[in-house]
Structure 1
Amino acid sequence: MKTEHAHPAELAALRAAFETGDPLGWDRVRAFEAEHGIVLPEPYRTFVAEISDGSYVGPPDYGLVPLAEMPDDGREAEDERCLAEPFPLTEAWVWEDDDRPEEELEPLLDQVFGHGSIVLGTDGCGMDWHLVVTGPHRGHVWHITGEGALPFGAEFGFTTGEPGFAGWVAHWAANKPWFDAPEDESGAA
């Protein structure tokens, strides 16, 4: 997965998936990046600058939120998020099943919800899709809920989709369910 340069085929597929949009423009994208001390991963960066800054048409169920907006997840306000701090996860984590005491979990959860990712949108009920903008998983899309978090992409299980923003949109545009990986005999994806 390349995150430094937008591939023309990925951009063409993104344009096809979203009929018309209201792009943010390069000056405003660069201003957002400078304000937060980050560079957005491609092809999302070019998508927001040239194709559309949000969309009422999915993905996810309630559409893409504009770059600087956040759905109300009940955790972090936009001004409390620190995009320049690395997103802390590299593998799925179900904190609902984690036996550690709450005082140990809360700082970790604050990092998951507040560091290194922007919210792409929501499927409702606190089931949000995040794009990681800093850290080892930069460019990956994560599904973060009140119970846990998991990365999107066939390499992680759960789905047959390609990783990253373009793969996530392509999976949606093909009308595939998000979690379409076949289960093995143990019942795991």
Structure 2
Amino acid sequence: MNIEHAHPDDLAELRAAFGVDDAGESALGWEEVNAFEAAHGVVLPEPYRTFVAEITDGSFSGPPDHGLVGVAELPDDWGDDRPVRTLSAPFPLTEAWLWEDDPRPYEEIAPLLAPVFDHGSVVLGTDGCGMYWHLIVTGPHRGHIWNISGEGATPYGAEFGHTTADSGFMGWVRHWSAGKPWFDA
């Protein structure tokens, strides 16, 4: 997983996977990507960074099931009463956490949940039912994809179990475009 440089072959594969052939008209452009990064105090990991700058900023042709939202957007079912998202704050997890099975009382767990949903990640989209895909942009898991739902949070990639997919945005898209179920291990 290379999160610092976008390989031209990966970009061609992303363009094909999303069916983008509009010569970059649906992309943000580098000026907008740089402005987004400056406003949020982050640098987006590659190849996602070049993807939104040069290929497209969101797509109805998946992944995830309800489409890829733009870098500055949130899925329609995200809700209006959530805390302000702080992308520059480090994403707090480095391993899966199923808070639904956590033995601690809810009063102890509740304050720990908002940072999982709202710190250090760009929301890529939803598969519905409150199941969101996040690209981590700050912290030790920068560049990794996480599945975060009402029950827990799980890193995505073969090294974490549950899937045969490679880590990162490219591995996540490759797995989807191959028609494989998300959790196939």
Q: TM-score, normalised by structure 2?
A: 0.94
Counterpart of 1:124 (choices 121, 128, 136) is: 128
Counterpart of 2:43 (choices 30, 39, 44) is: 39
Corresponding residue for residue 14 of structure 2 = 14
Give the SS at the match of 2:15.
helix
The count of aligned residue pairs is 180
Deviations 1:96-133, CA, capped at 9 Å, x for gaps = 01111222211210110110001000000100100000
What are structure 2's unaligned runs of at least 5 residues? none
State the percentage of identical aligned residues. 69
Corresponding residue for residue 150 of structure 1 = 154
Q: TM-score, normalised by structure 1?
A: 0.92
Corresponding residue for residue 94 of structure 1 = 98
For 2:8 and 2:81, how far apart are their aligned partners in 1? 35
For 1:135 and 1:74, how far apart are their aligned partners in 2? 25
Report 1:1-189 matches (<5 A): 1-20=1-20, 22-71=26-75, 72-74=77-79, 77=82, 80-181=84-185
What are structure 1's unaligned runs of at least 5 residues? 182-189
Native 8 Å contact 1:76 1:113 kept in 2 = no
Give the SS at the match of 1:80.
coil
- Residue 25 of structure 1 aligns to which amino acid in structure 2? G
Native 8 Å contact 1:154 1:162 kept in 2 = yes
